[in-house]
Structure 1
């Protein structure tokens, strides 16, 4: 089965097909229609293409999937759960939102439905990924796929240029290579520049950690314009301007994927989950990509930890059907279904140990699978950088205010990328934004 590429789906928020039930706005007699709010990426598109199988085994349920870009999804889903609207029965929930939403009572506790079903094999879930789905020892979401980050590079382009990628590169080495490989037709490296704490913020956040910076110190004083954070941001802006893609502020994950997979970039630093799609039959660079750990400066590793999960809205009136769908889409059987129907290189990665024991997947993922597992196991969300931090999280700060802080700060950094302001001015602006949120944390802690 040939999947819709990201470029085809990116322009639409909803897919409508007769067989999968997308776009059905009204209930049919005897039919329960659930609405799924989904981030728009290739793994979720594969899920949409396989919905007919779920509907075959659950004849009383139809599934309506709404695709949204990452920033739009967060805004729409957060508004819905916070107001108790119940517009979405199932939501794609990031690891950042899980503890916040669970604490607020916005998610259905899935611990019993998942753990009581032997076929679901809850103990098969990779430890850090399962922990990211948990709040106070209860699972409030089910992991759909997990990821860290690594550096992807075109082995054929490196060979033609007579260059060699280090096994564990530093950011300075990457910048030097990107400058040599930059050409009018090809970016030396693609780096997300699109504003958003989960877009450019994810890339920059992991760089800040390894440069020795941090968003806050242990007293919740913002450190955005301090050494470390400032060093990383200056390096990020200079690298992207000098050797990156044109108009970087318009590039997020999807845009960088499209550029790299069609030969428009020599390197790409981003999520490990991209690798399966890069090695698929419809990728122009399949078999031509090498993978190495995330570049470092002062730390031994610099990957992040993230999972996209499926959660059931506590305000949904169709919680049983929604829970059934979540179990189906995150089960070992679903992973096998993707392999058989879509392709073994495109399994949802990073959630289950058993995934990496599937012979077909072990073969097609030999270039990136072991490194994915390694990076997921090595990251430390409690202290990913040089200094201790008062929150758990790598490329984000796990406080409710960070969604606004990260979005506003990355908009300031985007202005610096576009040359509308200086990097120092952007850092000072972001420092003031972050400091207000830090003071709120101190007030709540009674400091």
Structure 2
């Protein structure tokens, strides 16, 4: 479909879904302060123009705060929000609890069959779709091609962790505030533990064995975390233990990171010359491995869902249909170019000849396809999830473990002490939960 025809289709979809049957209603949308979500807010006038009876109220929060707020609200059935931005971890757990409204009745034109299977499966419980993906992601290596060339190195398409460490050492120039590697250090199950759990998979680590016994006291976890701490303390920026996605994004855009291993969705921001001083020097590679058959990449989607406590479910569905449609993608492309459309959710996007020209399109899709949440670790495990464990207790466990490892990164305790505490607290939490 041409861009012009897509825009026409967007108008038609808006006309079809707009209706004067709604009384004037305000829907409150809780969302994360990521660039794609902020762009959606900037384009929301397109929705309200065709839905004059629906007003939008935005609550935009940092990732950890968003998770805390929406979790508290939905568990208490507080009804603060009509649309929540939640992830692949929450959707199946909350859907199974009947805390979310099914989206199986979205219009046929929305085209549920177009959603990438790996993304759709993670948002579906017993045949019911409980969230619509706004963008999907894995993780990959983003690197400075100019610094690699200066160091006399070439980045493989599928690097190992040892190659990453060698490149980080070669690119580090602390006198000029250039650091070879930037990684998440900020504590949180969706911050440093997203990176570390996926990284651990590639080192042969697992969170639990087949009997649900915690494994943080294993040799594989010691190897993983020691490698991570040594890598960042040797070649990372100062204060790495407080850096999450947004902090590292800013550092990379300022030219201060030789490499950054993080969400594939960041690619459009590091290659945008409006924001990035190194936009024309960025290359991409798969997340690293150790030759054990698993790469250190994750699988995630930020998605829009409706809590069961909402009293404006039909209006919320109207908004979700608009924000996650193929036509919204075409709208973003018309305003800001194909490189800036929400990635990782629809097959049709990766069949689009214009999008195929985007330098990170193929690597993003390959990274998503390389992650298998049903078989995340080298050894057998009883859980699903690549960078998380799909049980309700994980949010608490992951955050506490993340705090211990962040403290080790900051030099407040040893890696051995951090993992001893991680093992003990995880064992206590799992026993209390009845595992």
Considering the TM-score relative to the shorter chain, is it more than 0.5?
yes
1:30 CA drift (Å)? 5.1
Give the Cα separation in 1 of the matches to 2:295 and 2:387: 13
**Residue 59 of structure 2 is aligned to residue 69 of structure 1:** no
**Residue 41 of structure 2 is aligned to residue 51 of structure 1:** no
- For the 8 Å contact 2:24–2:55, the answer to whether it is kept is yes
- For the 8 Å contact 1:291–1:368, the answer to whether it is kept is yes
**Residue 280 of structure 2 is aligned to residue 290 of structure 1:** no
**Residue 284 of structure 2 is aligned to residue 307 of structure 1:** no
Name 1:232's counterpart in structure 2: 224
Give the Cα separation in 2 of the matches to 1:379 and 1:147: 10
- For the 8 Å contact 2:148–2:167, the answer to whether it is kept is no
List runs of 5+ in structure 1 lacking aligned partners: 1-28
Match of 1:379 among 352, 365, 371: 371
User: What SS is found at the alignment partner of 1:273?
Assistant: helix
Give the Cα separation in 2 of the matches to 1:95 and 1:235: 28
Give the Cα separation in 2 of the matches to 1:384 and 1:302: 10
Give the Cα separation in 1 of the matches to 2:385 and 2:222: 20
- Report 1:27-426 matches (<5 A): 31-112=24-105, 114=106, 117-184=107-174, 185-282=177-274, 283-297=276-290, 298-363=292-357, 365=358, 367-426=359-418
1:160 CA drift (Å)? 2.0
- For the 8 Å contact 1:277–1:345, the answer to whether it is kept is no
1:213 CA drift (Å)? 0.5
User: What SS is found at the alignment partner of 2:252?
Assistant: helix
Cα distance, 1:149–1:424 mapped onto 2, change above 3 Å: same
- For the 8 Å contact 1:263–1:285, the answer to whether it is kept is yes
User: What SS is found at the alignment partner of 2:424?
Assistant: helix
Q: Please report the RMSD computed on the Cα atoms of aligned residues, expressed in angstroms.
A: 1.3
User: What SS is found at the alignment partner of 1:188?
Assistant: coil
Give the Cα separation in 1 of the matches to 2:326 and 2:156: 36
TM-score (normalizing by structure 2): 0.92
- For the 8 Å contact 2:102–2:128, the answer to whether it is kept is yes
Moved more, 296-305 or 176-185: 296-305
Residue by residue over 1:285-344, the C-alpha shift from the partner in whole angstroms, topping out at 9 and shown as x without a partner, is: 222111111000122433211111000111011111111111110010011011111332
1:439 CA drift (Å)? 2.6
Give the Cα separation in 1 of the matches to 2:336 and 2:321: 19
Residue by residue over 1:379-436, the C-alpha shift from the partner in whole angstroms, topping out at 9 and shown as x without a partner, is: 2111222111111100001111110101010100111011111110000001111112
User: What SS is found at the alignment partner of 2:92?
Assistant: helix
- For the 8 Å contact 2:27–2:82, the answer to whether it is kept is yes
Give the Cα separation in 2 of the matches to 1:220 and 1:439: 10
- For the 8 Å contact 1:178–1:243, the answer to whether it is kept is yes
Give the Cα separation in 1 of the matches to 2:173 and 2:278: 18
Name 2:16's counterpart in structure 1: none
Name 2:5's counterpart in structure 1: none
Residue by residue over 1:111-158, the C-alpha shift from the partner in whole angstroms, topping out at 9 and shown as x without a partner, is: 12x2xx221011000001000110111100001110111111000111
TM-score (normalizing by structure 1): 0.90
User: What SS is found at the alignment partner of 1:259?
Assistant: helix
Give the Cα separation in 2 of the matches to 1:240 and 1:206: 17
How many equivalent residue pairs? Answer: 410
- For the 8 Å contact 2:404–2:422, the answer to whether it is kept is yes
Give the Cα separation in 2 of the matches to 1:151 and 1:374: 13
